Every structure is written in structure tokens, then in C-alpha cells.
Amino acid sequence: MARILSIGSEFPTFDKKAVVSLEKGKEFSQVTNEDHKKLGKWMVMFWWPKDFTFVCPTEIAEFNNAYEEFVDRDTMLVGASTDNEFVHAAWRRDHNDLRNLKFPMLADTSKSLAEELGILEENEKIAYRVTYIVDPQGIIRWVSANDLNVGRNTKEVIRVLDGLQTDELCPCNWEKGQETLSA
């Protein structure tokens, strides 16, 4: 496996098609690495291995349930896999928990972004379950990677995002509203 792009690195340049709606004629849009930077927002990009699987929709639905929490934190939420935009759209239409997603489903069909991030599984050439938190300047501030069969914890992603946004020292198990540490 290639080395995973990590903390302190600039998030790679990308311009990918994404499913943003199920409304006829408005299903697809381009999403780029510049979108969140232009708005002065953070970005959380989470990757899943394959559409039409079992663990993936539980995570995607949970991120969707927490969507407003990301918005409240000036954060653009983007989901991604190496499936194409037509497969994403079909999955959204087919799966009750995915029909009303509020964030784009990025299609990295060429696998170029997953490869540049170093998150492409060697045998099947699918993405690992990796989550990135990227600051408004485009710098990776947090990375979490799970094996293919273990779902992630959305609450932990939000907790870490909160900590990063304080720009202060946050102790173990710190949560928003608690005291931070003095140097």
C-alpha cells in the first residue's frame, strides 16, 4: 500500500463529478479542492470502499444525520468512493437511508485522488475507510483510517473538528464546551 497522505500535507488538487441531488437534470455537479477554501470553510472528506455494500450506508446515513453539526462548524462535508457518479445515483435512489443526502457523493472513477491520498487498497483497487479533516487553507489537520469491514464514529470526527477549531491544547476525551489546557 502506498503511504497515506497525512497531517501537515496539502490536500491534493481535484476536480471530480459528484452526485448532489436526485432531481432530474440536477443530479450532478463538479466538486473541487478549492470549493471549501473559496468559502473560508473547513472540509471533512470521508471515503468508503464500495457502493451497494452493508457497512457503508450506515456511515453515510450517520454523516447525513450529523450534517447540520458540520454546517454549524463552517465545514463542507464530502463523501467519496471510487464508484462512478451513475452508480452513486442508482444507490441513492435504491437505498432509503441515502435518498435525501445533503452532501455530495464524489466519484473518483479514475482512482487518481484515492491513489494520490495513498488510500487505495492494493488488490481490489478500492478506497479504505479514511476520513480527512482539512483546514480552510487546504492543509490536512487530521486523518483516520479504518480497515474495510469496520465503520467509523461520526461523533469522534465532530469532536476532533471541534478541538482543531479551538486552536488550543485539548486534553484526552475533551469535548466542546470543556476547558482547554494552558501551555
Q: How does pLDDT run across 38-88, given as a tens digit for each residue? A: 999 999 999 999 988 888 888 999 999 999 999 999 999 999 999 999 999
Place of cell 469491514: 149
Domains, the chain: 15-166 (3.40.30.10)
Q: What is the DSSP letter of 27?
A: S
Number of H helices, E strands in the chain: 6, 7
Catalytic choice (5, 56, 98, 161): 56
- Single out the residue of 142, 18, 39, 150 nearest to residue 86, CA to CA: 18
172 is catalytic: no
Average pLDDT over residues 129-147: 96
AA identity, residue 109: T
